[in-house]
Structure 1
Amino acid sequence: MKPVRFYGSRLFRHLPVVDDNMVLQGMVTDRDLRSARPSTILDEDERQRILDRVSMAPVKDIMSEKFYCLDEESTIDDALQFFTIHRIGALPVVNAQDQVIGIFSLNDMMAAYRCLFGLGEKGSMLVSIKDTGELGLLSTLVRALDDKNIRCTRLIRSPGREGRVPPAIYLRVNTFNLSSVHQVIEDAGFTLLPPDRINREVL
């Protein structure tokens, strides 16, 4: 069975099954393959007989016919919801004719969010600030940074978690002198939150 050899040589964990027109029929995952393999408690001859039989079986005999997929207009937030709710690691992407045009994996999503939030950019630093809820707070913050020619690339306002984590403002700045950025923010009347505050919010 080709998927067995393919998984073994390429380390892929999710493979779409398509018909002659590339229309999605199902998915074969590493879990499907493990389920098809014989139990380790069987004697060697019996295990080999089952392995031989499985290796000749068509993919449709072991594929999952219940699956989820994304279309061309789906967002990375859509993918995140699928990954979180259904605990899956990859989703086939189909066009309007249900033809497979790609696979979107957890790694793809992480790479997309890294780009979206500026992780790994040269000189990129994340700063956490206490959110008092005052009107015009974000405008005041951005203006204070602009006045000092500090480039702010991302700005996020988080409501926090009731009883656990207070509201906060996260901003990502391009700088190699983070202490000077902190000083500008404090001089503008803001309260910096410690680094562990960011970790608690993420977790």
Structure 2
Amino acid sequence: MMKGLKIAMLLLLLIAAATILNYHYVEKQTAPYVFVDTEDIPVRKVGLVLGTSKYLANGQINLYYRYRIAAAYELFAAGKVKFLLLSGDNGTKAYNEPAQMREDLVKLGVPAERIYLDYAGFRTLDSVVRAREIFGQQSLTCISQPFHLARAIYLGRHQGLDINGYAAKEVTLSYGYSVILREYLARMKMQLDLLFGKTPKFLGEKITIE
């Protein structure tokens, strides 16, 4: 009994150590491709904005969402992308992340004809792979918070994409503590997805961005 418990504890420690090491490995591998200043980032045709809910369960604005929209507008206004591809969850008629992002970006001044929507960006892997397979992009700039960009860039570059990231403003640790914890697990799952060749939930007809 005690021997079995010791083995289980050892396995848990090994898994925890691997999870932490993987998190920092992904961070290090992708750091050269993450930009925080519009002056430094290369010009790309398309900026891929990764979706999230606009509102929290308590009805307040989700700061992750607010800061991503602001970053997407900054990048577009600086002339560093010509089009914005908004990728998010539209799993039901009542929940439509891409449409909500488009509405708010148009209000900021982005022309509607410069915006394309990906309604099947259910996961980061789906958003990145569909940008290539459905929307025909081999080179793009991804927009999200730095921790999220690391995973998106790592995925994209392992899928053959020339992908950079423009960092949206971070939230405070107290605000995003649980999100960061989940990111450790998400990066481990990402490695498994890459290992087993996970594909997007949906593909579909190709869409030309022009």
| TM-score past 0.5 threshold | no
TM bucket (normalised to shorter chain) is under 0.3
TM-score (norm 1): 0.24
Q: Larger C-alpha radius of gyration, 1 or 2?
A: 1
Structure with greater proportional helix content: 2
Structure with greater proportional strand content: 1
TM-score (norm 2): 0.23
**Highest RCO, 1 vs 2 (Cα 8 Å, sep ≥ 6):** 2
